[in-house]
Structure 1
Amino acid sequence: MKQRSRTGAYVLILIGVIFLMVNLGVLPIADLRVLLSKWWPLILIVAGIALLGRPRKDS
Structure 2
Amino acid sequence: MRPSVPGIILIVVGVLFLLRNFGFELHLSELFARWWPLVLIALGVGMLFKNRRA
TM range (shorter): 0.5 to 0.7
RMSD of Structure 2 on Structure 1 (CA):
2.0
TM (normalized to structure 1)?
0.61
- Bigger helix fraction: 2
What are the ranges of 5 or more consecutive residues in structure 2 without an aligned counterpart? none
C-alpha distance in 2 between matches for 1:18 and 1:27: 10
Answer with 1 or 2: which has the greater Rg. 1
Q: Which runs of 5+ in 1 are unaligned?
A: none
Give the number of the structure with larger relative contact order, counting CA–CA contacts within 8 Å between residues 6 or more apart.
Answer: 2
Aligned residues: 51
- Output the TM-score relative to the length of structure 2: 0.65
Identity %: 37
